[in-house]
Structure 1
Amino acid sequence: MTHRITDINQVEGFCAASAENARTGTGCTVILCPQGAVGAVDVRGGAPATRETDLLRPEETVQVLHGVVLSGGSAYGLAASCGVAEELERRGVGLDVGVGLVPIVSSACVFDLACGEPSPRPDASMGARACARALEPGASLTSGNHGAGCGCSVGKFAGPTRSMKGGLGQGAASRGKLVVAAVSAVNACGSVIDPACGRVLAGTLDETGTTPLDARAALELALGADPLIRGNTTVSCVVTNARLTKAQATKVAQMAADAYAHAIVPTHTTNDGDTVFVMAHGDVEASVDSVGMLAVTALEEAIVDAVRAATAAYGLKAARDLAPA
C-alpha cells in the first residue's frame, strides 16, 4: 500500500517546510493547507504542550484548520505558531471574522531542551520563516535532523550518554485515488522499532555503546526509572485527500495513534506529550476505516524514517552509525 509520495508537499492542497537552529539543537516544522482543511487531534501523552486542540473537537463550531506546527522548545516552542499565524495573515490566509482574517493554527511541541543548548527556542520569527518557505513554489520537506526533529533523541532510560538521535520523518500510503501522508518528530523516551520485522532501530544503547538494547531489556530499565526521564514526546501530523467531517477526522486521528504503539516502546507515558493531528482536504470518497488504516501505515513509516534519516549530533549516535544487525 506504500505510495510513491516521498514528500508531503506532493499531496495536493498541502505544503510543508522546516526551520531550525542547528547550533542549539531545536527547530519547527510547518504543515499548511492555505485553502483550509478539516482538522482533528488525538492527544494521548501525559504531558502535552499544545495550542488550539480544544477547537478541533467535533462539537466546536470552527470547521477549518489552516496549519499545524510541530516544534521543539517544549512549551516555549508554542511561540512559533504565533509567527505562522501572523505570516498567514500577511498573505491573506485565514478565517474571515468580519473585521479581518484569523488563521487557525494548531501546534504541539517536543521537549528538546536537554539536547544541544536549552536556549534559544523556536520563536515567532522561526515559525514565520518556516511558513514562508512552505508557501514558496517547489517547497520541500527534508527528513532527519531538520525542523522539529533537529534536537530529538530516543532511548533515554540509561541517561544521555546511552541515548540515540531521533529526528523528523515522513511516510505515505494510498489505495486508488485515496492518499494519506504523515510527518512525525520522534523524541521518544523508549525504543523505535521497525513494525515490519520487530527489530530495534534506535533506543537505549548497551554498556558498550554499540548496539541498542532489546526492547524488553530497555523496558526493564524503564520500570526502574522513577519517574520516567523528562525530555520526551512524539508529535505528528497526518494529511489526506479524503473528504471527512470533523468527527470522522477525529476517529482517523485516534486510529493513527496506534502507529505509536506499533513503532515506539513504551509510548504515551506520563512524561510524553504524544499528539497526532489530522488535516483532511479533498474530494475522495473513502470509509473512515480505510483512511484510518492507511494513516497507521503512513505514520509507522514516518516514525521509522525519522530515525533512519537522522545523523549523529550533540554527542548522540544515529541508527545509521550502527553495524547492521
Structure 2
Amino acid sequence: MQNLITDVRGLLVGQAEDPVAATGVTVAVFERPTIASAAVLGGAPGTRDTALLQPEMTVEHIDAIVLSGGSIWGLGAAEGVMSSLAGQGRGFSIGNFRVPIVPQAILFDLANGGEKPWARGEGETPYRELGARAAAAAASSFSLGTAGAGYGATTANLKGGLGSASARAATGQIVGALVAVNAVGTATIGDGPHFWAAPFERDGEFGGRGWPATIGPADTALRFKGGTGQNTTIALVATDAALTKAQARRLALAAHDGLARALRPAHAPLDGDVVFAAATGHSGAPSDAFALTELCATAADVLARAVARGVHAATALPFPGGKPAWRDRFGG
C-alpha cells in the first residue's frame, strides 16, 4: 500500500504540467473497461461526458478519467488521452470503429500568474498535448501537491494541489481517492496549520497536527477566494470491488461527504465540485447493503484525507501575489 489511489488494482495515474502556464493534467487510466459513475454537487461545474455516466445511460464502461486545469479550455485534454488510448485499440465498439470513453472535469486556474495567451484568444491551448503526455506517463507512483491537475490550484488562503490516499475497508476491499483541490474556501482551520480533515488522518500523512486546542467563531468564519467560476475541487474515488453503475453512483455521492469534511465550505454556488467513482472489479461484489455502506464510508474518509494531503504537499508558484504553501507557513 502506497497510500495512493493506485493501490486499487486495475488503474494507473499519469500527469503532465506546463510550468510557464502554471497548469496541468492528471489522468487515471484503467487497465480494462471499467464501470463508473459521477455526482456533481457544485454550482458551477465544467465537465465532459459526465451525462453518459448516469445509471440509465447506455455506455457501461469507461477507459480513463481526466482531471485538468484550464477552465473550459482544459477540456481539450481528453482529446489527447483519447488519441493515446485509440492507438492501443481501446474504446467502445461502434461499427468498424472504437471510441475511447474518457469523461473529464476541469478546474479554474487561469488567474494564478501563469502565461495563458489562449484565454485571450491567442494561439492554441496545451491541453491536448498535456493529456497525451499524461496518459503515456501512467504508472503506479505519481507526485502529490503542485503536480498534474493540482499544479495551478489554490484555496482561499493557501496553495492547493493534487492529493491522494487509500485504505482497506472493513470488507477487505481497497478504496482510493485522487483529488485536485482548488476550493473557494479553506482546507485549514482559521489561521493555523490544522486541517479540517484531522480526525481522519493516518500516520501523520499531512503533518500530524490534529485539532487545535480550541475552535472559536473566528476559526469557523467563512473565507472565500476569487469570484464566480474561479474555483472547483474535482476528484475520483475508486475501489477494486465489483459494483453496478447504480452502486458506483452511490459511491460517488457518499464520497462527497469527504469534501464536506475537509473543506469549508464545499458544494458552493461558486464551486463546480465533481466526484467520479469507478469500480475495477478485481475483488468481487460487496455481499450486501451493509458492505456497500462500508465502501461508501471509506470513500468519504479517503477523499477527506486526500484533500488535506494535496494542500500539505503543495509548493508555492513563483509568481507575484501567489498563495503561500502550507509548508511555507507552518514548516514540515
Bin the TM-score by the shorter chain.
Answer: 0.7 to 0.9
Change (3 A) 1:322 1:89: same
- The one-character-per-residue Cα deviations of 1:109-128 (angstroms, maximum 9, x if unpaired) are 00000012251554111101
Partner of 1:151: 152
Q: Given that residues 28 and 122 in structure 1 are in contact (C-alpha distance below 8 angstroms), is that contact kept between their aligned partners in structure 2? A: no
Moved more, 93-102 or 163-172: 93-102
Counterpart pick for 2:324 among 299, 302, 317: 317
Counterpart pick for 1:301 among 291, 299, 305: 305
- The one-character-per-residue Cα deviations of 1:73-126 (angstroms, maximum 9, x if unpaired) are 001100001110111001111112221111100000000000122515541111
Q: Given that residues 23 and 116 in structure 1 are in contact (C-alpha distance below 8 angstroms), is that contact kept between their aligned partners in structure 2? A: no
Cα RMSD, aligned residues only: 2.3
Q: Given that residues 158 and 325 in structure 2 are in contact (C-alpha distance below 8 angstroms), is that contact kept between their aligned partners in structure 1? A: yes
Counterpart pick for 1:108 among 95, 102, 105: 105
Partner of 1:204: none
Query: Aligned partners of 1:267 and 1:308: how far apart in 2?
Result: 18
Change (3 A) 1:122 1:182: farther
SS at match of 1:105: coil
Change (3 A) 1:198 1:93: closer
SS at match of 2:33: strand
Q: Given that residues 34 and 93 in structure 1 are in contact (C-alpha distance below 8 angstroms), is that contact kept between their aligned partners in structure 2? A: no
Give how far 1:198 is off.
10
Moved more, 190-199 or 249-258: 190-199
- The one-character-per-residue Cα deviations of 1:292-321 (angstroms, maximum 9, x if unpaired) are 111011101110100010012233211111
Query: Aligned partners of 2:70 and 2:107: how far apart in 1?
Result: 7
Q: Given that residues 17 and 148 in structure 2 are in contact (C-alpha distance below 8 angstroms), is that contact kept between their aligned partners in structure 1? A: yes
Counterpart pick for 1:194 among 185, 193, 196: 196
Q: Given that residues 110 and 234 in structure 1 are in contact (C-alpha distance below 8 angstroms), is that contact kept between their aligned partners in structure 2? A: yes
Query: Aligned partners of 1:10 and 1:293: how far apart in 2?
Result: 18
Tell me the TM-score normalized by structure 1. 0.85
Change (3 A) 1:98 1:263: same
Change (3 A) 1:198 1:92: closer
2:268 corresponds to 1:269: yes
Partner of 1:257: 256
Q: Given that residues 67 and 106 in structure 1 are in contact (C-alpha distance below 8 angstroms), is that contact kept between their aligned partners in structure 2? A: yes
Question: Whose strand proportion is higher, 1 or 2?
Answer: 1
Map 1:179-190 onto structure 2 (within 5 A): 179-190=174-185
Partner of 2:5: 8
Counterpart pick for 1:168 among 121, 137, 162: 162
Give % identity.
39
- Aligned partner letter, 1:49: G
Query: Aligned partners of 2:29 and 2:175: how far apart in 1?
Result: 15
Query: Aligned partners of 2:314 and 2:15: how far apart in 1?
Result: 15
Query: Aligned partners of 1:229 and 1:87: how far apart in 2?
Result: 34
Query: Aligned partners of 1:214 and 1:108: how far apart in 2?
Result: 33
Query: Aligned partners of 1:267 and 1:86: how far apart in 2?
Result: 34
Change (3 A) 1:324 1:140: closer
Give how far 1:6 is off.
2.4
Change (3 A) 1:51 1:215: farther
Map 1:1-325 onto structure 2 (within 5 A): 4-117=1-114, 119=116, 121-134=125-138, 138-155=139-156, 163-175=157-169, 177-192=172-187, 193-197=195-199, 214-217=218-221, 219=222, 222=224, 228-282=227-281, 283-286=283-286, 287-313=291-317, 314=319, 315-323=322-330
**When the two structures are aligned, how many residues end up with a matched partner?**
296
Where do 4+ consecutive residues of structure 1 move more than 4 Å?
none
Gapped regions of structure 1 (runs ≥ 5): 156-162, 202-212
Query: Aligned partners of 2:66 and 2:200: how far apart in 1?
Result: 30
Partner of 1:210: none
